[in-house]
Structure 1
Amino acid sequence: MMCGGFLRVVRPSAVGLMSSLMVKKSQVCHRTPVSIRYSGSGNSEEEKISRFPVPYKKNLPYDIVELMEEVELKGGFLPNVFKVLAHRPAEFRAFFAYYNLLMNKETGGLSKADRELIVVATSAHNNCLYCVVSHSALHRIYSKKPTLADQVAVNYEVADLTARERAMLDFALTVCRSETVTDKHFSSLEAHGFDRDDIWDIAAITAFFALSNRMAHLTDMRPNTEFYNMGRVPRDKRSPGTEDDRP
């Protein structure tokens, strides 16, 4: 999402950091770097995750480093979107604050799996490799369905969806393609149990990830390899950093 497992892998205390990010924005971290590795110039193909410079950790504001460390500690790896967006710290803060409001809200009729499925379907339409791979991983984790996101990424119209999921994705793709939204769309969604706030959420997630998809294209952001196996590998065969029961 840009995307993919950012704030979902963070403890509640770390999520709370988002409300104070702007207060600390002028502070710069001068601690010795720990396990988070930055390529800086991206000299090798292995290290190249963006067309733009990836900042060294020691040069980043303290609040951003603290959030990154929380994410890596909980999830076992740091999604590349954090490193790439750190190129512009103020925009990093704004991006993740809105991401958190949309994807981690505790109210409304959309489950975490629903939200991830919207991202997969619309990101596939927008040809965003990073978002499809990372959010497919999260959908597998939350839904416990190891193949549905793959189907949706290829062609949601023939995927094994419920009638409710299909109505949700039909509307998300209407928004994604900038087609005219009518009262008929609302009626269809309401018939499947969605209320007006849910409809807003579907549209807002779609719109936010349209931005994310395009920034991923701009930067040529590459998915972390860890995402590919998340939610697929049995518990007893998992390697470190591939948790499949995150909060």
Structure 2
Amino acid sequence: MNKSISRFALPTRLDALPDDLRERILAVQDKAGFIPNVFLMLAHRPEEFRAFFAYHDALMDRVSDTLTQAEKEMIVVAVSADHGCLYCVVAHGAILRILAKDAQLADQLAVNYQTASITLRQRTMLDFALHIAARRGVLDDIWQARLEEQGFSLDDIWDIGAVAGIFGLSNRLVSMARTPPNDEFYLLGRVPRAAK
């Protein structure tokens, strides 16, 4: 495996990984057509891999009546851009392009979410995410009222803050390891996938 994707040890072979990690990585490879570098970067510590992805999945896959999967990815892109995490901006920008069916949105958010073509509701969501992730802010009565005025429930507010929080962790780990985005991410959601 390419050692240039992390400053830390990488698995030398997938078949040497614990079964659950190997199965997860192969399932992602089957779905995406490649193995995202972050999976290999985190695999050198199986317990942390499991814990990170368990919390990631609990947040990102949780179904909400009002907060969409695309909006969660918007949070990831905006927070990751603020943190200067190229990997997460590019990888989650690709996911956002696919979920939102919008080839421009992720780039707009990565440059300046405040000028992106988004709704007031989404701008308020991102304002709060950055308030939590970048400004060490808290949820006070003013913020709660502002978010509820835009239709967010307390569960949604938790999700916004939790997604901002876990990607603060992810951004720091990926940047520390110097893990670059896979080349494949740059074209996802921009160019139709080749038929299998």
- Taking structure 2 as the reference length, what is the TM-score of the superposition? 0.95
Counterpart pick for 1:219 among 171, 177, 184 = 177
Gapped runs of 5+ residues in structure 1? Answer: 1-37, 43-47, 242-247
| Aligned position for 2:147 | 189
CA contact (8 A) 1:76 1:240 kept: no
**1:73 Cα deviation after fit:** 1.1
Matched residue of 1:189: which SS?
Answer: helix
Deviations 1:167-200 (A, max 9, x none): 1001001001212432111111101110100000
1:181 & 1:101 partners in 2: Cα distance?
22
| Aligned position for 1:207 | 165
| Aligned position for 2:106 | 149
CA contact (8 A) 2:91 2:185 kept: yes
| Identity in percent | 49
CA contact (8 A) 2:64 2:156 kept: no
| Aligned position for 1:51 | 7
Deviations 1:185-235 (A, max 9, x none): 1111101110100000000000000000000111001100110011111x3
Q: Does 1:170 align with 2:164?
A: no
Counterpart pick for 1:83 among 36, 40, 54 = 40
- Taking structure 1 as the reference length, what is the TM-score of the superposition? 0.76
2:138 & 2:58 partners in 1: Cα distance?
26
Deviations 1:62-95 (A, max 9, x none): 1111111111112111111110000101100001
Most deviating of 106-115 and 81-90 = 106-115
**1:107 Cα deviation after fit:** 3.1
Number of matched pairs = 194
Larger Rg: 1
> CA, structure 1 residues 203+108, in 2 after alignment: closer, same or farther (shift >3 Å)?
farther
| Aligned position for 1:127 | 84
RMSD: 1.3
